Amino acid sequence: MDPLTEVLGAEPPATVRALAEETRSALAARVHEARRATAALNADAVETALRGVPLPVRGLVRKTLGA
C-alpha cells in the first residue's frame, strides 16, 4: 500500500496521489514524525495534569483521561 495512504488511513486527493513516490514517502515520514510528537505532547499533558490538578478533582481527571 502507498505509505501516505497508509499513514493517513484514507486515500489522499488524486493530485496528491499523482506526486512522485519519493515525495509521498517524504510526506508520510513527516506525518509519522508529527504523530510521534503529538503522542508525546499528549502523554506529557496527562502527566502534568495529574501532578498539578488539585486533589478534590484529581480522581475525576484521572478517570477521565484513562490514566
Least separation in angstroms between residue 14's CB and another protein is 8
Question: In angstroms, rounded to a whole number, what is the distance separating the alpha carbons of residues 25 and 3?
Answer: 6
Residue 55 binding another protein, by CB under 8 A: no
Query: How far apart, in Å, are the Cα atoms of 37 and each of 2, 3, 33, 34, 66?
Result: 22, 19, 6, 5, 20
Residue 65 binding another protein, by CB under 8 A: yes
Question: In angstroms, rounded to a whole number, what is the distance separating the alpha carbons of residues 25 and 12?
Answer: 13
Contacting residues toward another protein, per CB under 8 A? 7-10, 12-16, 19-20, 22-23, 26-27, 30-31, 33-35, 37-39, 41-42, 44-45, 48-49, 52-53, 57, 60-61, 64-66
